[in-house]
Amino acid sequence: MASIFPTPSPIFSHLITLTFLFVLATTPAAATGEDGTFVKRVDRRLLGLKKEKLSHFKFYWHDIQSGPNPTSVPIVLPPSNKSTTGYGGVNMIDNPLTLGPKLSSKMVGRAQGLYGSASQQGVGLMMVMNFAFMEGKYNGSTITVLGRNMIFSKVREMAVIGGTGLFRFARGYVEARTSTFDLKTGDAVVEYNVYVMHY
């Protein structure tokens, strides 16, 4: 049975083949990135990112190691090397964040993460934590903090390295000041001032 479609000319066939090969050759680069890798530029407006702003948050961090319901628990004990700094010990935390220094004041979030004694000279902690907010428009958003905390210094500065929700692409720093510290129980209340650039 004869085809109702005319046989394409050889030039037309070559043109179709070349077009197909061109599209095939350029599509992976367009799908993956400008240079053929897995990276491509994105207009930040497509993600709803507008003008960057600086916000200041102030709250109190309650590290409770005593009592029936501690919010800071040891997960790695320091080796028995008679270290006076507790070097090598690690605690996991789920600490309340409140508006005032009293635990009974309004809770705005929780500090979740861990800290470890990372200094052989002086009590210096390596802090890795998320401030997980549960109040107002920031409910569900987090700020991630990483840094060195020499706990007996009057003011300690740590870096804000990112965040989620309303704090995507966050950067900045925190200042920590001890409000109260009980040497017998290890319980502490620390004032945190957070300065964060975010969209």
pTM over 0.85: no
How does residue 30 score in pLDDT terms, banded at 50, 70 and 90? Answer: very low
Predicted local distance difference test score (pLDDT) of residue 3: 54
Assess whether pLDDT exceeds 70 at residue 41.
Answer: yes
> In whole angstroms, what is the distance from residue 123 CA to residue 88 CA?
11
Q: Which residue has the higher pLDDT, 120 or 188?
A: 188
Assess whether pLDDT exceeds 60 at residue 10.
Answer: yes
Average confidence score pLDDT of the chain: 88
Assess whether pLDDT exceeds 80 at residue 163.
Answer: yes
Predicted local distance difference test score (pLDDT) of residue 144: 98
Predicted local distance difference test score (pLDDT) of residue 17: 65
Residue recorded with tokens 């066939």: 13
Given a contact cutoff of 8 angstroms between Cβ atoms, the answer to whether 176 and 159 are in contact is no
Mean pLDDT over residues 148-169, rounded?
97
Given a contact cutoff of 8 angstroms between Cβ atoms, the answer to whether 111 and 61 are in contact is yes
> What single letter denotes the amino acid at residue 99?
L
Mean pLDDT over residues 99-126, rounded?
95
Element (H, E) at 15: helix 10-32
Pairing of strands 142-150, 107-117: unpaired
Predicted local distance difference test score (pLDDT) of residue 136: 94
Residue recorded with tokens 């050759």: 25
Assess whether pLDDT exceeds 50 at residue 103.
Answer: yes
Predicted local distance difference test score (pLDDT) of residue 29: 46
Q: Which residue has the higher pLDDT, 2 or 186?
A: 186
Mean pLDDT over residues 23-44, rounded?
66
Assess whether pLDDT exceeds 50 at residue 166.
Answer: yes
Architecture per CATH, domain 50-198, reads as: Beta Barrel (2.40)
Domain residue ranges of the chain, discontinuous segments joined by +: 50-198
